[in-house]
Structure 1
Amino acid sequence: MTMEQESALASAQRQFDIAADILQLEPGLRRILRVPQRELTVTFPVKMDDGRIETFVGYRVHHNITRGPAKGGIRYHPNVTIDDVRAFSMLMTWKCATVNIPYGGAKGAVVVDPRQLSMGELERLTRRYTSEISILISPDRDIPAPDIGTNPQVMAWIMDTYSMHSGHTVPAVVTGKPIEIGGSYGRREATARGLSYVLREAAEALSFPIAGARIVIQGFGNVGATCARLLEEMGATIIAVSDSKGGIYRRNGLPLAAVVAHKQRTGTVTDFPEADRVTNAELLELPCDILVPAAVQMQITARNADRIRARIVGEAANAPTTPEADAILYDRGIFVIPDILAGAGGVTVSYFEWVQGLQEFFWTEREVNAQLERVMVGAFNQVLRTAHERRVHMRTAAYLLAVNRVADATRIRGIYP
Structure 2
Amino acid sequence: MANSLLTDASRRLDRALQYVSISEDTAERLKSPKASLKVSIPVRMDDGSLRVFEGYRVHFDDTRGPTKGGIRFHPQVNLDEVQSLAFWMTFKCAALNLPFGGAKGGVTLNPKELSKAELERLSRGYIDAIANFIGPDTDIPAPDVYTNPMIMGWMMDQYSIIRQQRSPAVITGKPVALGGSLGRSTATGTGAFYVLEAMMAHLLGQPSDQANKPAQTVAVQGFGNAGSVVARLLFDAGYAVVAVSDSHGGIYTPQGLDIPSIQQFKADTRAVQAVYCDGTVCSLVDHKVITNEELLQLEVDILIPAALENQITAANADAIRARYIFEVANGPISADADDILDAKGITVFPDILVNAGGVTVSYFEWVQNRSGLYWTLEEVNQRLKQQMVTAAETIWQIAQTHQTSMRTAAYVQALTSLGAAMDARGTRADYVGEKG
Is TM > 0.5 for Structure 1 vs Structure 2? yes
Give 3-state SS (helix, strand or coil) of 2:412's partner: helix
Q: Does 1:300 align with 2:297?
A: no
Match for residue 96 of structure 2?
Answer: 99
Alpha carbons 1:270, 1:277 under 8 Å: kept: no
Structure 2 counterpart of 1:392? 404
Between 132-141 and 205-214, report the one with greater CA deviation: 205-214
For 2:373, which of 345, 355, 361 is the aligned residue?
361
Which whole-Å CA distance do the structure 2 matches of 1:55 and 1:156 have between them?
A: 22
Tell me the amino acid that sits aligned with residue 315 of structure 1. Answer: E
Q: Check conservation: 1:20, 1:30, Cα contact below 8 A.
A: no
1:137 partnered with 2:137: no
Matched residues in 2 for 1:349 and 1:148: separation? Answer: 17
Shift in Å, 1:200: 0.5
1:409 to partner: Cα distance: 0.6
**2:278 counterpart residue number:** none
SS of 2:132's partner is coil
Q: Distance in 1 between matches of 2:116 and 2:104?
A: 23
Instruction: Report the equivalent of 1:231.
Output: 234
Match of 1:407 in 2: 419
TM-aligned CA distance change 1:250 to 1:151, over 3 Å: same
1:161 aligned to 158, 175, 180, which one? 158
**1:173-202 CA deviation, whole Å, 9 max, x = no partner?**
100000001100110110001100111011
Q: Secondary structure at the match of 2:238?
A: coil
CA contact (8 A) 2:23 2:427 kept: no
What residue in structure 2 maps to residue 290 of structure 1? 302
1:194 aligns to 2:161 (yes or no): no
**Distance (Å, rounded) in 1 between the aligned partners of 2:297 and 2:76:** 27
Determine whether 1:110 maps to 2:107: yes
Which residue among 162, 171, 174 is the counterpart of 1:174? 171
- Give the Cα separation in 2 of the matches to 1:257 and 1:191: 18
Deviations 1:143-185 (A, max 9, x none): 0000112110111011101111222211111000000011001
Q: Conserved in 2, the CA contact under 8 Å of 1:16 and 1:34? A: no
What residue ranges of structure 1 are gaps of 5+ in the alignment?
none
SS in 2 for 1:73: strand
- Note if contact 2:241-2:256 (Cα within 8 Å) is conserved in structure 1: yes
Which one of the candidate residues 35, 41, 44 is aligned to 1:44? 41
Structure 2, unmatched stretches of 5+, are: 276-283, 432-436
Q: Secondary structure at the match of 2:46?
A: coil
Alignment size in residue pairs: 414
| Aligned with 2:384 (options 347, 372, 388) | 372
2:133 partner SS: coil
Within 2, Cα distance between the matches of 1:45 and 1:414?
44
Shift of 1:415: 6.9
SS of residue in 1 equivalent to 2:103 = strand
Q: Which has the higher mean CA deviation after the structures are superposed, 47-56 or 177-186? A: 47-56
- Partner of 2:336 in structure 1? 324
Partner letter of residue 330 of structure 1?
D
Question: Which of 181, 184, 189 is equivalent to 2:181?
Answer: 184
Can you list the C-alpha shifts for 1:334-381, whole angstroms capped at 9, x where unaligned?
A: 221100000000000000000000000000000000000000000001
How far did residue 19 of structure 1 move? 2.1
In structure 2, the partner of 1:246 is: 249
Q: CA deviation at 1:136?
A: 1.2
TM-score (norm 2): 0.91
Match of 2:224 in 1: 221
Whether the 8 Å CA contact 1:271–1:277 is kept in 2: the answer is no
- Among 24, 29, 33, the residue aligned to 2:30: 33
Equivalent position amino acid for 1:373 in 2: K
Percent identity, aligned pairs only, is 47
SS at match of 2:424: helix
Cα distance in 2, alignment partners of residues 202 and 309 from structure 1: 19
RMSD: 1.9
The one-letter code sitting in structure 2 at the alignment partner of 1:326 is D
- CA 1:37 to 1:415, structure 2 compared with 1: closer, same or farther past 3 Å? farther
- 1:94, 1:399 within 8 Å by CA — same for their partners in 2? yes
CA 1:226–1:271: 2 relative to 1, 3 Å: closer
Provide the C-alpha distance between the structure 2 equivalents of 1:266 and 1:363, rounded to a whole number of angstroms: 33
Tell me by how many angstroms 1:316 deviates: 0.3
Q: Aligned to 2:116, which of 99, 119, 124?
A: 119
Q: Which has the larger radius of gyration?
A: 2
Q: Is the 8 A contact 2:308 2:329 kept in 1?
A: yes
